[in-house]
Amino acid sequence: MDTDTTAELQKSLGIDIDPETFRLALTHRSFAFEAGGIPTNERLEFLGDSVLGLVATESLYYDNPDLAEGSLAKMRSAVVNTRALASIARRHGIGPHILLGKGEELTGGRDKDSILADTVEALIGATFVARGREEAFAFVHRLIDSMLSDAVNLGAGMDYKTTLQEAAADLDLGAVSYEIVSSGPDHAMVFTATALLGANGWGTGDGSSKKNAEAAAAEVAVKAIRTIYPDYTR
């Protein structure tokens, strides 16, 4: 693992972890197996998942005193799901740093939502182990606070596609549809979706599946609507 690029990644994430723990957090089981059974990041992932869930739950509970348990649970799910965590990993360029086995490398594992999401959780766990509870919690807040705010502002369906449907109907912007194109080899195909309201494109997003690409496009479209119609609060 290149020391300079590792330092750049830690700087991007705003953390300072010793090299051994940081490397462990990036060690996928496929790499560990091919390297003769060295430790994997799965224990750190297990810990990070719990830390992430606690921070998200605590923030939603105290910041939304009037919301019922069901609504809080849906908001938490919108933030700690695999697609959301994978988007965090892509935003910070984590994928190129993951230690993968040759098989996973050849099948596009470096951009798989599940591997990216698991690595984010492992990095949270590594921060907890290396730097303690306070810094780990602060790290999680930096990663998810903006998404928590978005979750609070989503419509009743608690996802951007449902919210886009509601906004398009409320504002008479036209029927929602998606145009999808794909690129790349079969084992690492990338889908690009454009969210259309009537005949007009309002947002474009990429994903490793059509569903994820549509969700990403819907998110861009919803944010565009909120910019153009600031008084729309549904």
CB 130 within 8 A of CB 17: yes
Q: Please state which of the four CATH numbers 3.40.50.300, 3.30.160.20, 3.40.50.880, 3.90.850.10 is assigned to the domain occupying 152-228.
A: 3.30.160.20
Same fold, 3-144 and 152-228: no
Q: Write down the CATH number for the domain with range 3-144.
A: 1.10.1520.10
Position 189 scores a pLDDT of: 83
Domain ranges across the chain? 3-144, 152-228
Mind listing the pLDDT tens digit of every residue in the chain (234 residues)? 666 678 889 999 999 999 999 999 999 999 999 999 999 999 999 999 999 999 999 999 999 998 899 888 888 888 898 888 998 999 999 999 999 999 998 888 898 889 999 999 999 999 999 999 999 999 999 999 988 887 766 544 457 888 888 889 999 999 999 999 998 887 778 899 999 999 999 999 998 888 889 988 998 998 899 899 988 766
Question: One of 111, 113, 121, 150 is an active-site residue; which one?
Answer: 121
* 121 labeled part of a ligand binding site: yes
How far is CA 142 from its chain centroid?
A: 13
* Radius of gyration of the chain measured on its C-alpha atoms: 19
CB 41 within 8 A of CB 121: no
* 34 labeled part of a ligand binding site: no
* 49 flagged as catalytic: yes
Position 114 scores a pLDDT of: 92
Alpha-carbon span 70 to 80, nearest angstrom: 16
